[in-house]
Chain A
């Protein structure tokens, strides 16, 4: 009896204790060809850059920690490698690389090591280029614009689904227990996290 068959028999003995999902994983091989898996790999320096970019997009404020504290620096690369087709992964990666190269050319060091004011300046320029790209459509800037749009989207998504984003920046109620369709807005009322 090979391992597969042994596992199958275990599943039958247990009847419904093993879910179909688990048995699928046990019995079937859904592995992607290596070439289609993780089209890109981020370096340690790039991970730092992404973390700092996210923290400029959503910074720490009086009420709540920012994107860095919320773990968005890890969320972005995970989303890119897990949820984006290879072509988009590559475009995002190229845009990031171009942005890093530009930072190094301007400041002689990587994004994470330049002062906060300069980081903001770099991203303000990139935002404007991305907006202009809608009409300009410069081929060399396609990846840069895709990178900025995506890193901003993922920062918002990651932050407002993080624990800090839900419970500190917004207000989260796990079990409301009732519904009030004319709830008086309180001073400083935050929006509900969902």
Chain B
């Protein structure tokens, strides 16, 4: 008996944070800095900053298969292998799909990383605020439910997270579609991008704009972290700490408080609900190494297990009071799954810049903020898209004859080739109730848990938008004098952008949403969800900065409520 009581005391904290990725890291930092004793649970292995970035300093010739996947890697990673992020130099970050299967009712590429830092180590680092337009469109066109907050509610929190994370970029004064922020000096556009920027300005005036990408790469030293060294090897982990990750930024801050306990290999299976207090009292954890189960207890719980990871935990937390998942009286939990659609745009060649090359490998590109369905513009689809891309001088010369070989071939392969520029659209997907996930009990993962089934597809609105995504890009290239312009649509399936969101949406009304305006579960007020699951709509901007801001805001509210005795 004594033993149990001691165990319970030992396993009790002020707050539990589930997941150590971008939003979980922020939750841990904010809550510990406000004095709470926090247990940060991570389902995967520990990754120590710098020390565990095994491939970060490897030269090309140190990578055994020149980055290519072996047959064994393909066999164990049948989903991760579908796209480029999983390669020989980054394989450590990506899950073994055989251990954690899921059911694809329709094709959905689910990219996951189980380790401390989560996708904060693997992310693309593009960091954009949502604008006024994004927060109001659901209410305006009737797709999805209205956001319970507006830009003004989140704006101070964007300021707060940008200042800490270190985002480089250029203010452009586009309040509606891409609000300004607190940026470190911008990276440079190259000579071709600058020329295209000027051409776009001449032709479209203020309607269209090309700017340097806003990225969580430091252009000057910041908060004790080193600046970007222009190696463009971010995906291996940065030995200079030059991009924002849990390891480089939020975890050391949380550790410094002395209030953090980090427990890797801890799979949260469900949240334990107390029917007497009508609150959550803790979580049930499966130790990923031993398969032993254990319980941890706390006053508040932040669920930051990634959009679908979080949704699984909530759906799997059933009780008499919550038979369809924790806080799912609305029936919206698991529904409204969204992802950006991309792999669509245009590219072209540029003459006249042969005297110039680039030095350094810029881990960033340009950005063209949304201009469709903005102001007076009106299309035959809703919402819009932005562009990302870059101009670069190619290695491979086009005048190499097909299948040629020998000294000539070698010589040409070692000379800079022509300038080429590509525009890739990132389009907003609408929230559709029928795009959903649910638990499939017929299949089990390595740890004996049931798995998620994913039933999600793009629809007509997305398909129509893709035509503009190709044509508008070609039009801008043409205006800038590009040659050999080609549009492309390389097919896109949900999940590919790794921006999955929306399955536990915020809203004003508990009847139609899972979370309130503070990311609190309507029905279980001491549970907070601040990752991508909480998003009622997704804009066309890369979303991670918004998760950071929502998390910091929710953590502030949670601690205030806790102090008032409301939780």
| B231 pairs with A185, CB closer than 8 A | no
| A180 pairs with B358, CB closer than 8 A | yes
B362 interfacial contact with A, CB 8 Å: yes
| B358 pairs with A179, CB closer than 8 A | yes
A163 interfacial contact with B, CB 8 Å: yes
What is the interface size of chain B, counting residues whose CB is below 8 A from a CB of the partner?
A: 64
Q: Which residues on A sit within 8 Å (CB–CB) of B404?
A: 127
- The answer to whether residues A174 and B415 also contact, given A83-B70, A84-B71, A181-B189 and a CB cut-off of 8 A, is no
- The answer to whether residues A30 and B76 also contact, given A166-B60, A177-B230 and a CB cut-off of 8 A, is yes
Q: Which residues on A sit within 8 Å (CB–CB) of B84?
A: none
Q: How far is the CA of A19 from the CA of B288 in the complex (A)?
A: 12
A41 interfacial contact with B, CB 8 Å: no
B361-404 Cβ-contact flags toward A at 8 Å (1 or 0): 11000000000000000000000000000000101000000111
| A191 pairs with B414, CB closer than 8 A | yes
Q: How far is the CA of A6 from the CA of B86 in the complex (A)?
A: 32
Q: Which residues on B sit within 8 Å (CB–CB) of A136?
A: none
A6-23 Cβ-contact flags toward B at 8 Å (1 or 0): 001001100110011101
Q: How far is the CA of A20 from the CA of B91 in the complex (A)?
A: 12
Q: Which residues on A sit within 8 Å (CB–CB) of B232?
A: 194
| B415 pairs with A191, CB closer than 8 A | yes
B54-86 Cβ-contact flags toward A at 8 Å (1 or 0): 000001110111111111100110000000000
| B416 pairs with A178, CB closer than 8 A | no
| Residue in B closest to A11 when the chains form the complex, CB atoms | B289
Q: Which residues on A sit within 8 Å (CB–CB) of B407?
A: 59, 61
A114 interfacial contact with B, CB 8 Å: no
Q: Report A58-115 residues with CB < 8 Å from chain B CB.
A: 58-59, 61, 63-64, 66, 75, 78-79, 82-85
A169 interfacial contact with B, CB 8 Å: yes
Q: How far is the CA of A11 from the CA of B45 in the complex (A)?
A: 12
| A161 pairs with B289, CB closer than 8 A | no
| B70 pairs with A190, CB closer than 8 A | no
Q: Which residues on A sit within 8 Å (CB–CB) of B405?
A: 56-58, 123, 127, 152, 155
| A176 pairs with B414, CB closer than 8 A | no
Q: Which residues on A sit within 8 Å (CB–CB) of B114?
A: 20
| Residue in B closest to A155 when the chains form the complex, CB atoms | B405
B512 interfacial contact with A, CB 8 Å: no
Q: Which residues on B sit within 8 Å (CB–CB) of A21?
A: 45, 92
B191: min CB distance to chain A, Å: 4
B406 interfacial contact with A, CB 8 Å: yes
Q: Which residues on A sit within 8 Å (CB–CB) of B45?
A: 16, 19-21
| Residue in B closest to A16 when the chains form the complex, CB atoms | B46
| B355 pairs with A8, CB closer than 8 A | no
Q: Which residues on A sit within 8 Å (CB–CB) of B75?
A: 32
A49: min CB distance to chain B, Å: 15
Instruction: Please give 7 more A-B residue pairs, beta carbons under 8 A apart, in addition to A16-B264, A176-B359, A191-B395.
Output: A15-B264, A84-B71, A131-B402, A184-B357, A185-B354, A190-B416, A192-B395
Most A-side CB within 10 Å, residue of B66, B355, B411: B66
A46 interfacial contact with B, CB 8 Å: no
B399: min CB distance to chain A, Å: 15
B360 interfacial contact with A, CB 8 Å: yes
- Which 8 A-B residue pairs are closest in the complex by CB-CB distance? A181-B190, A16-B46, A176-B360, A179-B360, A20-B45, A182-B191, A57-B405, A161-B66
B286 interfacial contact with A, CB 8 Å: no
| B354 pairs with A61, CB closer than 8 A | no
Residues of B within 8 A of A (CB): 44-46, 52, 59-61, 63-72, 75-76, 92, 96, 114-115, 187-191, 193-194, 229-232, 264-265, 288-290, 354-362, 393, 395, 402-407, 409-411, 413-417
A147 interfacial contact with B, CB 8 Å: no
Residues of A within 8 A of B (CB): 8, 11-12, 15-16, 19-21, 23-24, 30, 32, 56-59, 61, 63-64, 66, 75, 78-79, 82-85, 120, 123, 127, 130-131, 148-149, 152, 155-158, 160-163, 165-166, 169-170, 172-185, 189-194
- The answer to whether residues A191 and B417 also contact, given A16-B45, A127-B405 and a CB cut-off of 8 A, is yes
Q: Which residues on A sit within 8 Å (CB–CB) of B354?
A: 185
| B290 pairs with A184, CB closer than 8 A | no
Most B-side CB within 10 Å, residue of A85, A131, A185, A189: A185
Q: How far is the CA of A155 from the CA of B75 in the complex (A)?
A: 25
A-B Cβ contacts below 8 A, count: 172
Q: How far is the CA of A19 from the CA of B115 in the complex (A)?
A: 10
| A83 pairs with B403, CB closer than 8 A | no
- The answer to whether residues A179 and B359 also contact, given A56-B406, A58-B409, A169-B410 and a CB cut-off of 8 A, is yes
A3: min CB distance to chain B, Å: 16
Q: How far is the CA of A158 from the CA of B406 in the complex (A)?
A: 15
Q: Which residues on A sit within 8 Å (CB–CB) of B191?
A: 181-182
A165: min CB distance to chain B, Å: 8
Q: Which residues on B sit within 8 Å (CB–CB) of A78?
A: 64-65
| A184 pairs with B356, CB closer than 8 A | yes
| B411 pairs with A184, CB closer than 8 A | no
The residue from B60, B96, B288, B413 contacting A161, defined by CB atoms under 8 A apart: B60
| B409 pairs with A178, CB closer than 8 A | no
The residue from A161, A175, A180 contacting B63, defined by CB atoms under 8 A apart: A161
| B115 pairs with A83, CB closer than 8 A | no
- The answer to whether residues A158 and B66 also contact, given A11-B289, A179-B359 and a CB cut-off of 8 A, is yes
A113: min CB distance to chain B, Å: 20
The residue from A15, A83, A178 contacting B359, defined by CB atoms under 8 A apart: A178
| B414 pairs with A181, CB closer than 8 A | no
Q: How far is the CA of A161 from the CA of B189 in the complex (A)?
A: 28
- The answer to whether residues A166 and B411 also contact, given A83-B69, A182-B191 and a CB cut-off of 8 A, is no
| B96 pairs with A183, CB closer than 8 A | no
Q: How far is the CA of A84 from the CA of B69 in the complex (A)?
A: 9
| A190 pairs with B415, CB closer than 8 A | yes
Q: How far is the CA of A162 from the CA of B264 in the complex (A)?
A: 37
The residue from B66, B115, B410 contacting A58, defined by CB atoms under 8 A apart: B410
| A191 pairs with B416, CB closer than 8 A | yes
**Can you show 9 pairs from A to B with CB atoms below 8 A apart?**
A19-B92, A30-B76, A57-B405, A152-B405, A161-B60, A170-B395, A179-B187, A180-B360, A184-B356
